[in-house]
Structure 1
Amino acid sequence: MTALSVNINKIATLRNSRGGNNPNVLAAALACERFGANGITVHPRPDERHIRYADVFDLKANIQTELNIEGNCQEQKFIDLVLANKPAQVTLVPDAEGQITSNHGWDTIKNKAYLTDMCKLFKDQGIRVSIFVDPDEDMVEAAAETGTDRIELYTESYAQAFLDERDEAIKPYFHAALKAREVGLGINAGHDLDLNNLTYFNEHIPGLLEVSIGHALIADALYLGLEETIKRYLNALK
């Protein structure tokens, strides 16, 4: 079964909008685990507008499932945070400073030397590495040459086209996944996956190991409750 890692950034966004510690980010993460999530994802940014760096230390010390830290490895503060916490997985994302949300994958050809250095840095500390990429076979093949363990397929274009032309929308992801398996990479995926499009994606991507889902899942929890929402996402991945 494909693993579900819940991105709890939006819990932190709500907390930060009022100050204080309500909702409690750690309590939410522990609830996600209790309700069946296979992992917790956070994506700290330099301005700490949602996940704070202190949150990561709290999560690492208390959660029992896998911790996945996403972020821009071009920021030394991010590198230091990952090395200090040694999560199960670090996902390297090419965010620009001040970016609202991730909107593209790495050019793994242009940045291959740099990403190779980053992969070695983290893997030497026993941290599994995943590189965020667009569904492009050339980018997947070049990613394998960096020494990364996995790729994370950036799924926004699939999600946007799903309702109108899902068969066409899935094709580049299917071929990217085949290439990943050919070159020995594990496959993760994330961005705008939700209860409407997740099952189809999971059924058509060979070797899919993990999805990380935050915004849609937390939004659904407002209507369904967190426990029921996680149950439905897990059912979509069966």
Structure 2
Amino acid sequence: MLVVEGLQASYGRSQVLFDIVLGIDAGEVVTLLGRNGMGKTTTIRAIMGLNRPKAGSIRFDGREIAGLPPERIARLGIGLVPEGRRVFPTLTVRENLVATAASGRHRADPWDLDRIYQLFPRLAERRKQRAGTLSGGEQQMLAIGRALMTNPRLLILDEATEGLAPLVRAEIWRCLALLKAEGEAILVVDKNLAALKRLADRHVIIEKGRTIWSGDTAGLDAAPELTQRSLGV
């Protein structure tokens, strides 16, 4: 579904990505791992068109999307839950959700308000509340719900549970497990390696803007020196 090859990206004259390689199949959950500052968020920004690639290829369903504007990439079927959530603070929960709603004709059971409220009952309780007054965990639920309302074929989450209370983190992992069971393709960044290994089919490790390893959980477990060196685990 998504194939990234030789991706390079810069901020001005400062090059951040040198050779990112990763792929995600339909229905697959893939993690993007690495220490802080290694290029995970820049990779996601490049995929979403928020940072124009310097070189390399990004193909979605065989179509080259590198350099396309973000709105076109989103319309092709990629939904983003950005780092820091970034909900619309002055809009209500319901208004945040309907603001991004898109047709789900390609899905047997498209995402709509009722399905989002079933997934996150707390959002139903707070549907008339302004998003800026929600707790951090509730805002993350809203950010996920907002991305799902675009009815994406690929969902990308940057720092899925960062800064959240343990009970809220558990709720987010439960949600992602349900999405995986429904066949949603997911690319996820997070620091909770144990939870990621339970959820994901494959893992990609990047270091200093380069992909240095990819494989399944069994392969990751068999390389403790790799996780110690590259992830600090």
Shorter-normalised TM-score: what interval? Answer: 0.3 to 0.5
- Give the number of the structure whose residues are more often strand, by fraction: 2
Give the TM-score normalised by structure 2: 0.43
- Give the number of the structure whose residues are more often helix, by fraction: 1
